């Protein structure tokens, strides 16, 4: 026992050295991480609101994330993109929801960042699954079902084995749309 106590200094020194190294790497990579996150957001906005040439941030009272006016090459409004974030099964999920100019239909949904279970929950980032949100009514609650969605209903089918992740994405989208949509209608 005495031997372990005498040699514990080595573990403490190694812990301190690795902590300093990790902090140094984080500090040196922070600008690159920020640039990559901005690029991913910009690409997601273009994907969820087709025809977007550039976007402008708009402030929505009572919403702490960003909302973007999406403008086409001619400068005309082509839709809105809503940046949203919430908690999934494992950790935070960051996504973007696109809506039409009149905020009457969802034009797309793209999950930008997630750490859900590989092979199951992280399928929320697949374009095929996220494509279910296209053309849904953002003014009504979107519901997750374990069966295929019924035509005319505001439903999406959950990913088999990842119902919690599927419901988390839908909850994040529903909350963002509930907070933002009434203001978007006024902005057009």
Residues of the domain holding 63: 45-187
In a domain, 3, yes or no: no
pLDDT at position 185, please?
84
pLDDT at position 89, please?
92
In a domain, 14, yes or no: no
Please say whether the beta carbons of 80 and 98 come within 8 A: yes
pTM for the whole structure: 0.85
pLDDT at position 174, please?
98
Distance CA 165, CA 108 (A): 18
Domain count, the chain: 1
pLDDT at position 8, please?
81
Distance CA 70, CA 5 (A): 63
- Mean pLDDT calculated for residue range 77-82: 97
% of residues, the chain, pLDDT over 70: 98
pLDDT at position 33, please?
86
In a domain, 105, yes or no: yes
Write the pLDDT tens digit of every residue in 96-118.
999 999 999 999 999 999 999 88
In a domain, 35, yes or no: no
In a domain, 153, yes or no: yes
Mean pLDDT of the chain: 93
In a domain, 175, yes or no: yes
Q: Provide the pLDDT confidence category of residue 1 given band limits of 50, 70 and 90.
A: low
In a domain, 131, yes or no: yes
Question: How far is CA 79 from each of CA 60, 91, 100, 142, rounded to the nearest angstrom?
Answer: 15, 29, 5, 20
- Mean pLDDT calculated for residue range 169-184: 96
In a domain, 16, yes or no: no
pLDDT at position 186, please?
83
pLDDT at position 188, please?
67
64 CB-contact burial (10 Å; exposed 0-12 / middle 13-18 / buried 19+): exposed
Write the pLDDT tens digit of every residue in 8-65.
878 888 898 899 999 998 999 989 988 998 899 999 999 999 999 999 999 999 999 9
Pick the closest to residue 69 from 33, 45, 35, 91 (CA basis).
Answer: 45
pLDDT at position 126, please?
93
């Amino acid at each position: 026992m005495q031997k372990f106590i005498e040699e514990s200094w080595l573990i403490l020194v190694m812990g301190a050295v690795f902590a300093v190294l990790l902090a140094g790497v984080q500090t040196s990579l922070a600008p690159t991480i920020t640039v990559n996150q901005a690029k991913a957001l910009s690409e997601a906005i273009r994907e969820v609101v087709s025809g977007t040439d550039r976007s402008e941030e708009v402030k929505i009272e009572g919403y702490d994330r960003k909302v973007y006016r999406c403008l086409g090459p001619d400068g005309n409004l082509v839709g809105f993109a809503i940046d949203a974030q919430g908690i999934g099964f494992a950790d935070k999920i960051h996504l973007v929801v696109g809506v039409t100019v009149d905020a009457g239909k969802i034009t797309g949904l793209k999950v930008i960042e997630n750490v859900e279970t590989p092979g199951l929950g992280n399928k929320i980032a697949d374009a095929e699954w996220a494509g279910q949100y296209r053309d849904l009514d953002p003014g009504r609650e979107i519901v997750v079902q374990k069966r295929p969605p019924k035509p005319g209903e505001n439903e999406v089918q959950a990913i088999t084995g990842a119902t919690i992740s599927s419901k988390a994405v839908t909850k994040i989208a529903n909350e963002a749309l509930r907070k933002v949509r009434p203001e978007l209608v006024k902005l057009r």
